Chains A and B, each alone.
Chain A
Amino acid sequence: MSTSTLDGAAPSALRLLPSGEAVRWLAGGLLASAAWLGLSALLRFWPDKPDADWAYTGQLAAVALAFALALLLATVASPWLLPLQRVRRVAPWLTLIALFLSVWEIATAKLALLPMPFFPPPPALLEVLVDDWPRLGESVLASFRLLAGGYLIGATVGFTAGVAIGWSRAVGYWIHPILRFIGPLPATAWLPLAFFVFPSSWSASTFLIALATGFPVTVLTWSGVASVNSTYYDVARTVGASRRFLVRKVAIPAAMPYVFVGLFMGLGNSFAVLVVAEMLGVKAGLGWYLQWAQGWAAYANMYAALLIMALACSGLITLLFRLRDRLLSWQKGLVRW
């Protein structure tokens, strides 16, 4: 980590200021702050197109102003407060986001270039987040419960099956053809069948999510176990390892990098199945919320739900990568998420 070297240089941070890099950083932070300030001014002082007076415009202007001030403070204080140095790194992105929001606001609320009601302005999203958060929060929770159940079952079964196929010829003989036949089928294709075979749409969706997760986890775990350097086994056998030890302490740890690729792919698959299942049968969750919002032509709600969904999915993947980084810290050259 580069922060450790920065920590060491902390007392002399002031001396770093006049250098070209520090000046660039400072300029970047100030620019980001100015962009947010501009957004705030735009919201407050440019009147909306008549007959389209959007609520929460003033509130969003206040939020943007507060953010601009916070950014300014962080930029100025960053040479002394090390945690704030992250701000320098994300400043260009923050600038871009402010510009994007400004263009969006101008194209919708201010000039009405984009057709209504399909493209509501940014304040409308804030309105949804503030006014409809109980329902959104419930949806997030419902989605998470469904996803967690299905994913954990799928990952556990997939991992176990993968190890068993990779290790035992007999198990491989029976499971491999089934895997080849059923695995490539998209889990969503089972949807109509699953909804009448299972007692509830919830259990049907759990099954489908588990299926979508299980396939890549099984295949990747299996290939991980199959590709273990055979000398690893020789080494363990000559020092007295049992079969059980070979599986638990040699095959599985050696296969872990593959397993995590499988878990990552499985997580992506599970998101897809989750949303489709919620749109088509389950009466809760973010997928259901999207469908509901579209039904009422509440497009601002839809965008807000999409935004939350993107954040949640990205957050879960980040979590998975963090877990991998912890468990596989011995590996060199890990891809950072």
Chain B
Amino acid sequence: MVAATARVIEDAAVAAAPRRGAALEIHDVSHQFALDGAPLPVLERLSLDVAPGEFVALLGPSGCGKSTLLRLVAGLEPPTAGRLAVDGVPIAGPDPSRVVVFQDPTLYPWRTVWNNAALGLEARGLLRSRRGRVDEALRLVGLSGFAKAYPHQLSGGMAQRAALARALVNDPSLLILDEPLGKLDSLTRITMQGELVALWQRSGFTTLLVTHDVEEALFLATRVIVLSDRPARIKAEVVNERPYPRHRGDPHLARLRHEVLAHLGLDATW
């Protein structure tokens, strides 16, 4: 897989010109659910600006509302209050330029890997003219040989790669990752973290990652936002200026990890 990553980076020079990432603006957003009739506040007056091409990780305890924030950014739900905008345009609904990769790959079991990856193009009637994009996306995630396989024939890591290809086909300017590596075994995880960085560097899209893995957040992101317990507020912001490729053993990352864990109140054991 290291070889695959290297090939991905080489491809960057050959393939389509990198797109500029989108700027994301989250302004004073609050959100609540109705739980048995009573309102359950999930997000509270949250504001965050993400610059084009940034890789921002949202880190917080589970159930704190990180995933809800992503659903708002994706346009799957409107916020109870506040404003979300991409490149200055308010988010009114889902858009293929903002694609989500969910924690479960949620591939359609009745479609082959190729047809799953082609979903976005097919939905927008572009499949005929852009078939090559599907092949290219599958090549990028290292699944060219599995184009005709069905999801039940794939391992967890391969399924998540296919889900990633399904997102990349749409040439997103903002990639929204909802714990995409959360259910993978640790070795596959490490491999795919490297691949994610390579993809992001190559394509130049803005990335918003939700995770509860401190190490993952620091290894991948340029900025880590630490969220509080529900209702989620921004507790701290840790900027990580380490250049890529990063090394897991980097003492600077270890220091940052201690800092982040302190914000989460978990530094006692470190």
Contacts and interface: CB of A to CB of B under 8 A. Distances in A.
Q: Which of A238, A240, A250, A330 has the most CB of B within 10 A?
A: A238
B152 A332 contact: yes
A330 B109 contact: yes
Nearest to B116: A235
A254 B110 contact: yes
Nearest to B93: A237
A234 B100 contact: yes
Interface in B67-124: 71, 74-76, 94-96, 98-100, 102, 104, 106, 108-111, 119-120, 122-124
B200 interface: no
Interface string A223-252: 000000101101111111110010001100
Contacts of A38: none
Interface size class of B (residues with CB under 8 A): 20 to 34
B96 A238 contact: yes
Contacts, number: 71
Interface string B159-183: 0000000110010000000000000
A22 interface: no
Contacts of B170: 239-240
B146 interface: no
Of B95, B110, B124, the most chain A CB neighbours within 10 A belong to B110
A208 B170 CA distance: 50
A240 B106 contact: no
A237 B99 CA distance: 9
A2 interface: no
A58 interface: no
Given A234-B102, A235-B119, A240 B95 contact: yes
Contacts of A234: 71, 74, 76, 100, 102, 106
Interface in A188-236: 229, 231-232, 234-236
Which 10 A-B residue pairings sit nearest by Cβ, starting from the closest? A239-B120, A241-B123, A240-B96, A237-B94, A240-B124, A238-B94, A231-B106, A253-B110, A330-B110, A330-B150
Interface of A: 229, 231-232, 234-242, 245, 249-250, 253-254, 256, 328, 330-332
